Structure 1
């Protein structure tokens, strides 16, 4: 997703998304990453709500505790893993554009 498109989506949708504490946010807050704070984790969850289905969010949340699982999916030859990785990569790029810094 292009940064300009991502910014436009954020302007439209981020104010209307509730802060229910989805699976990505919960995993982020539980992680031992230095940048894991409520504001950043909430932002990442909001992007996930815009870009990933519920099942994809639950699957991606598992990567916080098991990064090796992400690499297995990334290099998998299964069509379903390839499709998920494409969605996940787009989510990551968008989250970085919105939430970094």
Structure 2
């Protein structure tokens, strides 16, 4: 679970073209700030690129918070609201894509 969160949360964006993508770099910043050895600049950039394709900016802000408080992810996973279920499904898809592309 920790490796999955690392991959999903280490996503980064190098794009400074549009404000939305700059704001979405929250996952990259969270990834780089993590104390994990696998959180390299290249890997965090790759994961952010995947996040830009798989997650909304709002999703990315939420997921980035999970780096410092992984319990929030568990709470969302256990939630029974349709909105939280949909975010968890997008997050799982994102994590699988990031693992496949960025490993």
TM-score normalised to structure 1 length: 0.78
Question: Secondary structure at the residue paired with 1:69?
Answer: helix
- Which residue matches 2:68? 65
- Which residue matches 1:13? none
Q: Aligned-pair distance for 1:79?
A: 1.2
- Which residue matches 1:19? 14
* Structure 1, 21-30 or 83-92: larger mean CA deviation: 21-30
Question: Secondary structure at the residue paired with 2:66?
Answer: helix
| Aligned mates of 1:67, 1:34 — CA distance in 2 | 18
| Aligned mates of 1:54, 1:92 — CA distance in 2 | 16
Which ranges of structure 2 fall in alignment gaps of 5 or more residues? Answer: 1-12, 16-21
Structure exhibiting the larger radius of gyration computed from Cα positions:
1
How many residue pairs were aligned?
A: 83
TM-score normalised to structure 2 length: 0.77
| Aligned mates of 1:47, 1:95 — CA distance in 2 | 6
- Which residue matches 2:39? 36
Q: Which runs of 4+ in 1 moved over 3 A?
A: none
